[in-house]
Structure 1
Amino acid sequence: MQLTVGPNQFFWDAALWRDFYLRLADEAPVDTVVLGELVCSKRLPFYQTHFPDVIERLQAAGKSVVMTSLALITLKRERKLTEELVDMGLEVEVNDLSVLPHLPAGAAFSIGPLVNVYNEGTLGWLAARGARRICLPPELPLASIAILAGAAAVPVEVWGWGRLPLAVSSRCYHARLHDRAKDNCQFICSADPDGRAVDTLDGQKFLAVNGVQTLSASCANAAHQLPGLREAGVASLRLSPQADGFIEICKLFSDLIDGGIDAETLSANALPQAPGGQYADGFLAGIAGVDWSAGKGLAVVG
């Protein structure tokens, strides 16, 4: 089983973004890295000048490099950005199906977790269209994953770590929270490099927001589901970038896949770095998504 680093969902300082990926190239035992902007096209100009150096460094380290599309393409300039993305000559991860008409015949592309691949018909159509890899939506239970992986003509990937992407809106939650217009947000989302927690009125952890994106409050952790995912034929786990401790997370998952540690060890060692301070794997386990199959014993206190 391989490891894929998904696109960074958050807005980071350009120097932090560059250094994160340069270190990832040199130190992280992963196979594929997805770069680019998934959430908000306004963020892209701040760091896209670093693409050539980062891509070169990642490829020199033997890692496959893929460029993500936006999750929601609504503006003319975003369609233009999509065309420029295709022109880069790298595999494109499609997270909005409106990207497909921009792909010339034979262009390399894969399917990201924000595309609703829920049945064999959709899976087969995308593979016939030329998709080289399909990352299934994170809300699918293991039983459904097994059916899809068994029917797939291409490698299937599953979300392994990080806040789960739940929805994308045309409204910017960060801008609204700070009484700013979306077009004059002043990039306030950068103040929350792993998303901003949203609790219920009685203080229960509920969700997280990231600009126009809604995320899970908990950190998804598929470590305890690895045997079932392997048996189902899943080819790769996806790890979602976070501001701190991500190289260590990659190493822990690599050790888990290689049999050097067990799921309990990974979960205990990774918990201090888990966004939200608690785990969930309920979608995979076929129960409520917020649930954690290993019980309630692991949670950051305070």
Structure 2
Amino acid sequence: MSEQQKLTMGPLLYNWPAEKKRDFYYQVADEAPVDVVYIGEVTCSKRTPFFTPYIPDICERLEASGKKVVLSSLALVMSGRERGELSDLTSGCPWEIEANDLSAISLLSGKPHVVGPFVNLYNEGTLDYFYQNGATRIVLPCELPVDSIAKLSARASGREIEIQAFGRLPLALSARCYHARSHNLSKDGCLYVCENDPDGMDVATMDGDPFLAVNGTHTMSHTVNNLLGELRDLSGLGVTHFRLWPHDADMVKVAEVYRRTLDGDDDLERSSADLERLVTFAPFSNGFYHAVEGTRMVE
């Protein structure tokens, strides 16, 4: 496959203890075969103060290992404090920024930035607008089928396009915190209970069937998106970057599986078996790509 194709590690969406997050990024810096690492709080600004002191050292270590650093912005900006933090991030940050809502895109107008997967983008006109606004790369929404990905990639004409290739998918955002409500707590008095679920809290139907996952204000897929078998086709369509969402698993090994597949390893059966051993908390799916129910795994 082309040398232009990059493997990326998306921002950590879950609430891990700050020291665990630090050690995770240190390990990614030292061992993971990824080209780009996104870092920053996307889900809940209440988590931000615990981890922020570690970010400069982590970025330095990532860059020393040859990885490009991108700082990810909050996906839902609601308060004056959050607007102020976003303004500070977009005005004085030495690293490229992933804009995850339209307010960040507005503040970054004319500056190089990445458009994140939380921004709705479903047609060529919107794609053109974001590139003209300064986007260097666009991360497509997770629910797009292959036909839509093909059209948008063709319109990109060689400009960078990123696909979410592994991990639970962020499906929706809310001003309410379902994680807190599930423990009879308010959002302001949540006691950070989301820390108890390092890969999100499973949600079941009335019949007890696994359905979704909750991560603070994010509604996630229950299944783990796995586009390992689709990497070759996506590369042929012109996709340049492939995102791995971090999970409480051996992400270095996950990255190694995806890296060798991107590099041309045709033993998909072996790679898929390796991935199944690494991910035990939920089944795989790739339904959105194949234009069927997102929870399905099309072989």
Q: Structures share a fold, TM > 0.5? A: yes
Preserved CA contact (<8 Å) 1:162 1:275: no
Distance 2:109 2:236 in 1: 36
Equivalent of 1:72, from 58, 64, 76? 76
Correspondence 1:264 to 2:241: no
The alignment yields a C-alpha RMSD, in angstroms, of 1.2
Correspondence 1:97 to 2:134: no
| Structure 2 counterpart of 1:245, one-letter code | D
The alignment covers a number of residue pairs equal to 293
Distance 1:216 1:97 in 2: 23
Preserved CA contact (<8 Å) 2:212 2:221: yes
Q: Partner of 2:42 in structure 1?
A: 38
Preserved CA contact (<8 Å) 2:109 2:133: no
Q: Partner of 1:231 in structure 2?
A: 236
Deviations 1:109-140 (A, max 9, x none): 11111111100000000001110000100100
Preserved CA contact (<8 Å) 2:10 2:38: yes
| Structure 1 counterpart of 2:133, one-letter code | R
Q: Partner of 1:173 in structure 2?
A: 178
- Stretches of structure 2 that go unaligned for 5 or more consecutive residues are none
Distance 1:126 1:265 in 2: 39
Q: Partner of 2:165 in structure 1?
A: 160
| Aligned-pair identity (%) | 43
Distance 2:11 2:76 in 1: 15
Distance 1:151 1:29 in 2: 29
Preserved CA contact (<8 Å) 2:249 2:279: no
| Structure 2 counterpart of 1:254, one-letter code | R
Q: Partner of 2:122 in structure 1?
A: 118
Deviation at 1:11, TM superposition (A): 0.5
Deviation at 1:253, TM superposition (A): 0.4
TM-score, normalising length: structure 2:
0.95
Q: Partner of 2:251 in structure 1?
A: 246
1:244–1:276 CA distance, 2 compared to 1 (3 A): closer
Q: Partner of 2:138 in structure 1?
A: 134
| Structure 1 counterpart of 2:284, one-letter code | Y
Correspondence 1:222 to 2:236: no
Preserved CA contact (<8 Å) 2:176 2:217: yes
Deviations 1:81-108 (A, max 9, x none): 1112121221110110111232264x22
Secondary structure of the corresponding residue to residue 288 of structure 2: helix
Correspondence 1:287 to 2:295: no
- Stretches of structure 1 that go unaligned for 5 or more consecutive residues are 295-302
Preserved CA contact (<8 Å) 1:58 1:64: yes
Distance 2:280 2:13 in 1: 13
1:208–1:275 CA distance, 2 compared to 1 (3 A): farther
Preserved CA contact (<8 Å) 1:90 1:108: no
Deviation at 1:275, TM superposition (A): 6.1
